Structures are given as structure tokens and as C-alpha cells.
Amino acid sequence: MPLADLKNMTLEEIEAFVAELGKEKFRARQIMKWIYQQGASSFEAMTNLSKEFRADMEKRARIGNLEIVRTQSSEDTTKKILFRLEDGLLIESVLIPGASHWTLCLSTQAGCKMGCAFCFTAKSGFTRNLRPSEIVDQIVQAKFRTEEGPGINNLVLMGMGEPLDNYDNVLKAIAIISSDYGLALTARRITLSTCGLAPAIERLGQDSAVNLAVSLNAPDDTRRNELMPINRKYPIEAIIKACRTYPMPKRRRITFEYILIAGVNDSPADAKLLVRTFGNLRCKFNLILFNEYPGSPFKAPTAKAVEAFQKVLVDHRITAVVRQSRGKDILAACGQLSGRHREEEAGD
């Protein structure tokens, strides 16, 4: 029987585990602090626990660790980390620089099944969901094995995969991340991005308080059907309905991510349609220029087109920010992740 990975366990589950070994609940808090706040990768390192207890745990459990295969650096200082999972699959995370901190972009699946036309990850297809340990350990490894790690204070679940398609594992990972004895990052520092699984958005609003970002990318169902096949199941009207149920504190808004693609969704008329559809919703728009990748069928719009699009939204009192993509030169920007080691080596 395989040993249980403690990184797959919440505080309550570790408490139950130590209780089976005849130990007090507070030992679970000590164990979590060792793993998530001091980066312990073995029981031997947990020096405030008795040798006997550590030996008992060695027989019953383990502390899984992702392997960092490679770290690439962009001209803009963005870092992309390639991880190998225990079964040999590869995933990627991205360290994004801020003014005084770093944001870590996490993957939640190996590949993705959503099939968005503009996304490089989708080209690889879907292999499997990541376990809670594999989601959480991307943070642990980045925090304790990279120079930038101590400065990480924001997380975005925007890497490979659709987070809400791996709902239970993602929610469990968030519980571990936000635990005072885990990584101790509050919900307001965690943003989850979804392509629009409407029922799961409503469920998430009941189960968590993380920030919500919805990848929209088209002003109407016709074009969104073409760009994002999930829209045929959950059209824009269903997404808006789900977003209205999502509980947000007064100063926070739902974010709509809108990838601007030349000649597809970037005209002032498209912006006006967004105003009519979303004008009454408490939201903001992040405008992202399409990030090209090898073989991509689309192009980024001109600066003039982006400015005209943004102006329509701003003139109608909708917050619209043009987001500068980071790490494009190492395929680390939005929609460019793939987890392909050999192709990256060939491109160096």
C-alpha cells in the first residue's frame, strides 16, 4: 500500500493522521509549519518532534516533492519553472515580477480539455488533474528553491488547465494554501481564473472567498463559441448569472480577462457590445494582447486598435486596464504554457 502524501492533507486530515499514531492534535500544526513555512522535505528535519514519532511517520506517510527540471529567465525578469511530476508528466509555473513582490502563476492540470482556439496549452490536449499536493508543491518549491521565493505574496491559478474542472482538488489546495499553519496566504491574495464553468462559479462562491477572474475573450456567443467551445454549454448569459451570485466585498470586483485578437474581437463596435452586455455588472476588464506562439493562427492587434477599444469602455465608466504580458520570449505569457521540455531545448 503506497504511503500517504502529507501534502495532500488539510490540517484536519493531518490531525486525524497523528491521532491514529496516538499523538496530540497540536503535532499536526507543527508538521504543517515544518512543511510549508520552513520547507522541510523529510521527517528527519522536524527536530521538535521525537525520534520515535518521526520513525512512526516514516512508516506511514511521506512528503512528496516535485522536481524542478529547468528554470528559464525572460528579458523582463519573468521566470518559468518546468516541473516533473512523480509519474514523469511535465507542468509549468511562472514567477511574475511586481514592484516589490512576486506573483506565482500555478497550473492545476497536466494539459487542458477546454480546447480554446488561442491557447498553446490546449494544443497538447489533456492528460490528468493535478492532485492537491502537486498544486501546493509548486508554491513550496518556488518559495524555498528559488531566489525569488521569499518575495512571493500573490497567487494566480491561471497556468495550465481549467481550475474549476479540477474543483475538489483545487479547493483542497486553496484550504492548505490559506491555512495559518500552511502557506498562510489570505483569499484576497489568491485569484482563480476560469473559462466560464457557470455552475462551478456559483459553487465556488459558496465554498471560497478567492478573487474570481473569467476568461471572456469575445463580446457575443457566436464568436465565443468559435474561440472557446465551453461557451456552447455555458453561454455568456449563464456566466453573467453565475457572476451575479458570486459574493464580493465592496472594494473588489469580478475581473473579465479579454484577449484582444487582431480582426477577431478588437473593434470599437465589439467594445460597445461589451458595454451593453456587462455595463450593469460590478466588474473590470483586463485587456491582454494576444501572445503569439509557434504555429498560432492569430495575431496581436495594433496599439491604435487597443487604445480605441479601451477608450470605449473607459468612456462608459468601465474600468479597463491594458495588461502587459510578461515572459513572451520564453513562452511564459498568458496562453503560452505547454510543459514541453524537448521543444524548449530545441528553441534555445
How do residues 85-123 score in pLDDT, each as one tens digit? 999 999 999 999 988 899 999 999 999 999 999 888 888
Separation between Cα atoms, residue 219 and residue 237, nearest integer Å: 11
Average pLDDT over residues 118-137: 92
The pLDDT, as a whole number, for residue 337 is 60
Binned at pLDDT 50, 70 and 90, residue 158 comes out as very high
CATH (domain of 290):
3.20.20.70
Average pLDDT over residues 21-36: 96
Give the domain extent around 326: 67-347
- 311 and 334, same domain (yes or no): yes
- 246 and 262, same domain (yes or no): yes
CATH (domain of 21):
1.10.150.530
Amino acid in position 135: I
Q: Is the pLDDT of residue 333 over 60?
A: no
Binned at pLDDT 50, 70 and 90, residue 296 comes out as confident
- 85 and 11, same domain (yes or no): no
Q: Is the pLDDT of residue 329 over 90?
A: no
- 287 and 323, same domain (yes or no): yes
**Other Cβ atoms within 10 Å of 294 Cβ, number:** 11
Q: Is the pLDDT of residue 328 over 70?
A: no
Cell of 122: 490546449
Q: Where is the domain boundary, 62, 77, 100?
A: 62
- 58 and 71, same domain (yes or no): no
Based on the number of CB atoms within 10 Å of its own CB, is 317 exposed (0-12), middle (13-18) or buried (19 or more)?
exposed
Measure CA of the first residue to CA of the last residue in the chain; give whole Å. Answer: 43
Closest CA to 79 of 339, 348, 323, 330: 330
Cell of 35: 512543511
Total number of domains in the chain: 2
The pLDDT, as a whole number, for residue 13 is 97
Average pLDDT over residues 189-212: 96
Mean confidence (pLDDT) of the chain: 92
**Reported pTM:** 0.92
Query: What are the tens digits of pLDDT across the range 255-264?
Result: 999 999 999 9
The pLDDT, as a whole number, for residue 292 is 80
Q: Where is the domain boundary, 47, 62, 77?
A: 62
- 228 and 261, same domain (yes or no): yes
Q: Where is the domain boundary, 62, 78, 98?
A: 62
- 220 and 134, same domain (yes or no): yes
CB-facing half-sphere around the CA of 72: CA atoms within 13 A:
24
- 38 and 141, same domain (yes or no): no
Average pLDDT over residues 323-346: 58
DSSP 8-state class, residue 285: E
- 125 and 33, same domain (yes or no): no
- 320 and 333, same domain (yes or no): yes
- 157 and 234, same domain (yes or no): yes
Q: Is the pLDDT of residue 348 over 60?
A: no
Q: Is the pLDDT of residue 234 over 80?
A: yes
- 186 and 319, same domain (yes or no): yes
The pLDDT, as a whole number, for residue 336 is 54
Separation between Cα atoms, residue 156 and residue 190, nearest integer Å: 6
So which residues are the catalytic ones? 92, 334
